[in-house]
Structure 1
Amino acid sequence: MPPITNIAAYLFVSLDDLPDLRERILARTLALDLKGTVLLAPEGINAFLAGGQDDIEAFLGWLRADARFAPLQAKYSYSDAVPFRRTRVRIKREIIRMNHPAIRPEAGRAPAVDASTLARWLEQGLDDEGREVVMLDTRNGFEVDAGTFTDAIDWRLSKFSEFPAAVRTHRAELAGKTVVSFCTGGIRCEKAAIFMAEEGLTHVYQLEGGILKYFEETGGPGFEGSCFVFDEREALGTDLAVPVA
């Protein structure tokens, strides 16, 4: 196994002590020599960190000791070098910007489909109730260009805050189908699925854990190309390794 452990982890949870929390998380990541980015907002935490495996696990254990973060789950990948140059802990208005503050995943998630179930649906072309399954890529266009699910819907978004308007424009095309929203690690499709349900689409799911968890649990059937990631690796193949040029 390569020596560097990389994690992507997020959790929607109410936070009201952001400046103090920022300082404590920064101190802990620096003490463990972890590099990457942690975003904090009133709606939760979003983290991308890399370092030695023991140090990563020590950080996760420390974070989960705070009851608010106990449910946090991480997606893992491995690399020969740390793909970040520094450590940043930043306070933001949203951990993923949608500009719809009424969308609060902490208050109730949209239904989720796990990786193995989705792989089966894609193989048979239908969900378990016989409805057509369509994959909806909630990522930006340049991310989609690196790779996506076969025949996935791509609205050529330039930023996630464009997603609500795109749904309203294309809502009729999705009606009556089972729509599975997906993104890199799950955070965008959390909000996307809730928004679509509030817009009246009745068979909407989010891909649990996003593309990275799908790769981890299934090996990526039905996915073409690589998954863009926001670090120096740039993209990961279905084996969660950097593709060989």
Structure 2
Amino acid sequence: MPSSPTYVNIAAYKFITLDDTVEKRPQFVAVCEKLGLKGTILLSPEGINLFLAGLRESIDAFLAWLHTDARFADLEVKESQSDRQPFTKMLVKLKREIITMKNPLIKPEEGRAPAVDAPTLKRWLDCGHDDAGKPVVMLDTRNAFEVDVGTFNNTVDYRIEKFSEFPEVVAQHKEDFSGKTVVTFCTGGIRCEKAAIHMQNVGFDSVYQLEGGILKYFEEVGGSHYRGDCFVFDYRTALNPKLEATDTKQCFACRAVVTPREQLSPYYVPGKSCPHCRKALTRPNE
């Protein structure tokens, strides 16, 4: 039997002023549909954020087309592979922000916070301090349910439910980071880029973002100093440090992450319910 095709999954973003999102949207739709790609592209006045999957030649053709626009010529892409198409449709959306923080003072295009690459971060974590001798603190900027799937060892997790909560909660804990180097991180780099800039703006004196996020870290150094997997927003639900899909699932009904052990529960019915749904229904009567 012929082998099934391998799909290439790409994730990328760039903060760049876009004043022609309305005009660009139908162009993106047409190119993606012609190439048979599926996924989501967000266009906003502050930039582009995309998650796409397709066959190798289609992905390459899309990137070649995208790079003809000088604004996207240096767009850096993170790749992984899967044996099936991880998306069910192709969407190109117009948004106010490509990642919602509700803080108009954050303008990454005007200057990024310092970034640390994966090999350097691993070396810092191996040593327990950065090159200046400061203790390194990992700060997760993702939502709580994502963190529960996996995160760096000894990370700071504020259990936020949405990214717009981050500025207020980190301000409440500013003194906790005195004399330390903070490394913000997220799945692919976009949230931690905004987070690091905000922290600089409000007076944190030693803060970095993890370049390329967890996925780039996995790609370059594997899972060292990381426990668990990384949540992703497609059918794969989570990737391990080898960038392979795991058995973790997401409930269609309540959107909770369902571990392999939880999938053994009689309350787990794929596409309908899970143990977390059951807890939510019984909680008011407890």
- Determine if the TM-score, normalized by the shorter chain, exceeds 0.5: yes
Structure 1: tracts of 5 or more residues without a match: none
Find the residue that maps to 1:143 and give its secondary structure. helix
Q: Deviations for 1:213-240, whole angstroms, at most 9, x for unmatched residues?
A: 0000001211100000001100000000
- Residue of structure 2 in register with 1:194 after alignment: 197
- Residue of structure 2 in register with 1:149 after alignment: 152
Deviation at 1:145, TM superposition (A): 0.2
Deviation at 1:20, TM superposition (A): 1.1
Correspondent of 2:185 among 182, 186, 190: 182
Correspondent of 1:46 among 39, 43, 49: 49
- Residue of structure 1 in register with 2:62 after alignment: 59
Cα distance in 2, alignment partners of residues 56 and 17 from structure 1? 23
Cα distance in 1, alignment partners of residues 27 and 87 from structure 2? 20
Q: Deviations for 1:9-68, whole angstroms, at most 9, x for unmatched residues?
A: 000000001111111011100000000000000000000000001111110111011001
Which residues in structure 2 correspond to 1:43-192 (within 5 Å)? 43-192=46-195
CA RMSD of aligned residues (A): 1.0
Find the residue that maps to 2:148 and give its secondary structure. helix
- Residue of structure 2 in register with 1:230 after alignment: 233
Deviation at 1:243, TM superposition (A): 2.1
Q: Deviations for 1:111-142, whole angstroms, at most 9, x for unmatched residues?
A: 00000000111111100110000000000000
CA contact (8 A) 1:34 1:50 kept: yes
CA contact (8 A) 1:113 1:207 kept: yes
Cα distance in 1, alignment partners of residues 240 and 198 from structure 2? 30
Find the residue that maps to 2:172 and give its secondary structure. helix
Deviation at 1:2, TM superposition (A): 6.6
Deviation at 1:102, TM superposition (A): 1.2
Find the residue that maps to 1:153 and give its secondary structure. coil
Do structure 1's residue 30 and structure 2's residue 33 form an aligned pair? yes
Find the residue that maps to 1:240 and give its secondary structure. coil
Cα distance in 2, alignment partners of residues 120 and 54 from structure 1? 36
Structure 2 counterpart of 1:136, which letter? Answer: L
TM-score (norm 1): 0.98
Cα distance in 2, alignment partners of residues 159 and 223 from structure 1? 23
Q: Could you say which structure has the larger radius of gyration?
A: 2
Cα distance in 2, alignment partners of residues 90 and 197 from structure 1? 30
TM-score (norm 2): 0.84
Question: Identity over aligned residues, as a percent?
Answer: 59
CA contact (8 A) 1:2 1:78 kept: no
Cα distance in 2, alignment partners of residues 157 and 61 from structure 1? 38
- Residue of structure 2 in register with 1:13 after alignment: 16
Distance 1:149 1:2, change over 3 A: farther
Cα distance in 2, alignment partners of residues 193 and 86 from structure 1? 33
Ranges of 4+ aligned residues in structure 1 off by more than 2 Å: none
> Paired residues, what number?
245
- Residue of structure 1 in register with 2:271 after alignment: none
CA contact (8 A) 2:184 2:209 kept: yes
Cα distance in 2, alignment partners of residues 51 and 220 from structure 1? 26
CA contact (8 A) 2:5 2:55 kept: no
